Structure 1
Amino acid sequence: MLLPRAIRKQACVKTAVLLTTLLTLTATPVLAQGKPLKKVNIAIATAILNVGYPMLTLAKTLGYWKEEGYDVELMPVGGSLQAIQQMVANNADFVQVNASVVVQANSKNDLPVRIVMNNGVLDWSVAVDADGPIKSVKDLKGKTIGVFTLATGGTAYLNSFLRANGLDPAKDVELVAVGLGAPPVEAMRSKKVQGLLYWASAIATFENNGLKLNKLVGDDWRSYPDYSLATMQGTLDKDPAFAIGIARGMAKATVYALANPECAVKLHWQNYPATKPSGADEATLVKWDLNAQQAQLDSLAEAFKLNGGKLWGKADPAAYEHLVKFMLDAKQIDKPVPAASMIVKTPDFFEKVNAFDIKAVEADAKACKA
């Protein structure tokens, strides 16, 4: 016969077991009641999602978008025009594209495409042999310049650069399409071309392949906003917080990458192993991809300064107005479009995007859990 104290003890044990069983049985349903992640597609103006896009890839890798409630798929689709087409066809919620294409979409096609984040400045340059005779833009007279395609976006800036230095783009310089990857490098080595007009990350890959280059840059080139995150006005009207969450994840990723570039490269390799370079020892591979990534990091930092130096991703209407004027003068568009009309108008949008602990993100980056 059990004593009263023993009976009470046994009852307590049974109660504890019962509670544990109930918690175990109900744990999964309680978690399942959490709000499911919203599926999001971002179309990116690139063919390959390499280390040059840390503001996007790290936002996914580090779970920043999941913290905001989104399951994001990154979609490399080729060029900026193709990305816009994917968004207009409802295959993408956001696009990462050249700002000039956003201006053209609004001016030429009356498409309500809205910029929600500025991630870079115009980072093109004319790369020439560092040990060769070309030391300034005037030395390009009579020379051949390699470009990705003859319709490449940098041509308008090159023409303006040439005219400002007394050269006639139609007579004094010849452009030849040499594509991307190994062909531009070979074109320089064989003297088929004496310069390469490309964006910064592309030129970094040429350097990784052994070219020693100097870069000729127009005085005003870095004053133009370029790579930008954009969406349709209808998306903003339905849920303004949607764009804030996506942009905040990218702002965090930007801060992380700038705080520890080498960690950003290693994280990229872990999650996108097919993009890791080969053909050299590990230290050299890291050096190559750090060089390629740094081109984008420099552009991110310059865009931050261009837009006031206080809020990551801020898109300043004055900077985009500067771009609109250039495009009008270059006849890339036929009618002006107010820059402010192309930028998100959600109250305190960029303040909300930057509502996170920057120091904590930097500390995580320095700790590097790659």
Structure 2
Amino acid sequence: MHRRSFAQLGLSLAALPLAMPRRAAAADKPLRKVRIAVSTTVLNVGYPMLTLPLTLGYWREEGYDVELMPVGASLQSIQQMVGGNAEFGEVNASVIVQANSKNGLPVRIAMGNGVIDWSVAVDANGPITSAKDLKGKTIGVFSLATGGIAYFNSFLRNNGLDPAKDVELVPLGLGAPPIEALRSGKVQGLLYWAAAIASFENAGLKLRKLVGEDWRQYPDYTLAVMQATVDKDPEMVVGIARGMAKATVYALANPDCARQLHWDRYPSTKPTGADPETLVRWDLNTQQAQLDSLKDAFTLNGGKLWGNADPAAYDRLVKFMLDTKQIDKPVAASSMMVKIPDYFEKVGRFDVAAVQAAAAACKP
């Protein structure tokens, strides 16, 4: 998946009696179709907040028949929403900022899912132990346009290095090339996001990870929605986000159960080429990269409401993007937030302990 680089369809929800339980109400009404464009090419085990609501029926309980649409990079997800082909997009937060600041598009933040999880991976037994040791080194990246480079350059400058002179970047893509490049010494480090780094570890690399102190203080993966969709069907926005919040709690409570359920529903994404125990270890490692990001995002966004998006965190990202010239003018994070009364409180109205108990029992 290439994670780092515009739905105005809203479905009206008839008013329901306040005393009617959500499950009963959903059962009495036909499910409404909702599409989520996901910024990846393959929905592997690393997307439990999106795949588990389907497996566990969380979105059906809310009254929605959800289709996940892997579309590539975040820009493509935004384009799918603007073009009316998706109601939501799971995208990098920086793309939401750019859409609002540079293009004036009313893309809104519906849920905070992750943090910046990039790192510079180097040989665990090698001499590189700090940013200063990167001077004169060659670093492999997915592409020369990949989003992590802005964070990397800031990391170098903060440690007294000149990105233009002291380090060389080489585009390597994904798969075997970056692995072989590090093994052969063609590069001395790999600048990639956490799930990619996990895949390199699965292939046998022993890695030490260098990370900027501020990187995980910036939000990243975010559920996006157009303002027109919020205006037309706010209850749908709440329901979709609530399903994702419940799935996040479930996966964090029992990662191996989340892995088992993913393999059962999406057998084609199960890794191959090793014994069963190794395959389990590989996918748990891949999944853990996302779980760590989900957990850190919960803390970053206040640590009280699952899925909450704290404007202060997104304001920090806006400032960083201004400083690194990714945008030319600021945009207030508060203007990008979904504005539904008590929105995140509504998203969090579910029994967390019950979800955790269901995860412990590990039954669909």
TM-score, normalised to structure 1's length? 0.91
Q: 1:207 is paired with a residue of what secondary structure?
A: helix
> Cα 1:42–1:141, aligned 2, differ >3 Å: closer, same or farther?
same
Residues 1:312 and 2:306 are matched in the alignment = yes
Residues 1:147 and 2:108 are matched in the alignment = no
Shift of 1:369: 2.1
Supply the distance in 2 between the matched residues of 1:198 and 1:142 (Cα, whole angstroms). Answer: 19
Shift of 1:33: 9.2
Tell me which amino acid in the other structure corresponds to 1:176.
Answer: V
Supply the distance in 2 between the matched residues of 1:272 and 1:191 (Cα, whole angstroms). Answer: 37
Q: 1:179 is paired with a residue of what secondary structure?
A: coil
Residues 1:219 and 2:213 are matched in the alignment = yes
After superposition, the C-alpha distances for 1:316-355 in whole angstroms (9 at most, x for unaligned) are 0000000000000000000000110011111110100010
Supply the distance in 2 between the matched residues of 1:116 and 1:153 (Cα, whole angstroms). Answer: 22
Supply the distance in 2 between the matched residues of 1:133 and 1:243 (Cα, whole angstroms). Answer: 50
Tell me which amino acid in the other structure corresponds to 1:51.
Answer: V
- Residue of 329, 338, 346 corresponding to 2:340: 346
Supply the distance in 1 between the matched residues of 2:68 and 2:175 (Cα, whole angstroms). Answer: 22
Supply the distance in 2 between the matched residues of 1:168 and 1:94 (Cα, whole angstroms). Answer: 39
Shift of 1:279: 1.2
Supply the distance in 1 between the matched residues of 2:29 and 2:327 (Cα, whole angstroms). Answer: 44
Instruction: Give the structure 2 partner of residue 276 of structure 1.
Output: 270
Instruction: Give the structure 2 partner of residue 76 of structure 1.
Output: 70
Q: Name the one with the larger helix percent.
A: 1
Instruction: Give the structure 2 partner of residue 104 of structure 1.
Output: 98
Supply the distance in 2 between the matched residues of 1:147 and 1:205 (Cα, whole angstroms). Answer: 14
Tell me which amino acid in the other structure corresponds to 2:158.
Answer: A
Supply the distance in 2 between the matched residues of 1:69 and 1:191 (Cα, whole angstroms). Answer: 54
> Cα 1:71–1:173, aligned 2, differ >3 Å: closer, same or farther?
same
Instruction: Give the structure 2 partner of residue 324 of structure 1.
Output: 318
Shift of 1:281: 1.3
Shift of 1:34: 2.7
Instruction: Give the structure 2 partner of residue 54 of structure 1.
Output: 48
Tell me which amino acid in the other structure corresponds to 2:143.
Answer: T
Instruction: Give the structure 1 partner of residue 196 of structure 2.
Output: 202
> Cα 1:32–1:155, aligned 2, differ >3 Å: closer, same or farther?
closer
- Residue of 239, 248, 264 corresponding to 2:242: 248
Supply the distance in 1 between the matched residues of 2:175 and 2:346 (Cα, whole angstroms). Answer: 40
Supply the distance in 1 between the matched residues of 2:149 and 2:66 (Cα, whole angstroms). Answer: 34
Supply the distance in 1 between the matched residues of 2:253 and 2:28 (Cα, whole angstroms). Answer: 33
Q: 1:109 is paired with a residue of what secondary structure?
A: coil
> Cα 1:32–1:287, aligned 2, differ >3 Å: closer, same or farther?
closer
Instruction: Give the structure 1 partner of residue 151 of structure 2.
Output: 157
Which range is displaced more, 280-289 or 249-258?
280-289
Shift of 1:133: 1.1
Instruction: Give the structure 2 partner of residue 4 of structure 1.
Output: none
Shift of 1:156: 0.3
Instruction: Give the structure 2 partner of residue 24 of structure 1.
Output: none
Supply the distance in 2 between the matched residues of 1:195 and 1:83 (Cα, whole angstroms). Answer: 30
Q: Is the 8 A contact 2:26 2:63 kept in 1?
A: no
Instruction: Give the structure 2 partner of residue 10 of structure 1.
Output: none
Supply the distance in 2 between the matched residues of 1:77 and 1:195 (Cα, whole angstroms). Answer: 29
Instruction: Give the structure 1 partner of residue 291 of structure 2.
Output: 297
Supply the distance in 1 between the matched residues of 2:26 and 2:289 (Cα, whole angstroms). Answer: 43
Q: 2:303 is paired with a residue of what secondary structure?
A: coil
Identity %: 76
Supply the distance in 1 between the matched residues of 2:231 and 2:169 (Cα, whole angstroms). Answer: 44
Q: Is the 8 A contact 2:242 2:347 kept in 1?
A: yes
Supply the distance in 2 between the matched residues of 1:112 and 1:70 (Cα, whole angstroms). Answer: 24
List aligned pairs for 1:101-140, cutoff 5 A: 101-140=95-134
Tell me which amino acid in the other structure corresponds to 2:351.
Answer: D
Supply the distance in 1 between the matched residues of 2:226 and 2:26 (Cα, whole angstroms). Answer: 32
Supply the distance in 1 between the matched residues of 2:27 and 2:238 (Cα, whole angstroms). Answer: 24
Tell me which amino acid in the other structure corresponds to 2:80.
Answer: Q
Supply the distance in 1 between the matched residues of 2:225 and 2:77 (Cα, whole angstroms). Answer: 11
- Residue of 261, 264, 268 corresponding to 1:267: 261
Supply the distance in 2 between the matched residues of 1:129 and 1:87 (Cα, whole angstroms). Answer: 41
Shift of 1:206: 0.4
Query: Which structure is larger by alpha-carbon Rg, 1 or 2?
Result: 1
Structure 2 gaps of 5+ residues are: 1-24
Instruction: Give the structure 1 partner of residue 21 of structure 2.
Output: none
Residues 1:357 and 2:341 are matched in the alignment = no
Instruction: Give the structure 2 partner of residue 9 of structure 1.
Output: none
Structure 1 gaps of 5+ residues are: 1-30
Instruction: Give the structure 2 partner of residue 26 of structure 1.
Output: none
Shift of 1:36: 0.8
Supply the distance in 1 between the matched residues of 2:266 and 2:143 (Cα, whole angstroms). Answer: 28
Instruction: Give the structure 2 partner of residue 178 of structure 1.
Output: 172
Tell me which amino acid in the other structure corresponds to 2:174.
Answer: L
Q: 1:55 is paired with a residue of what secondary structure?
A: helix
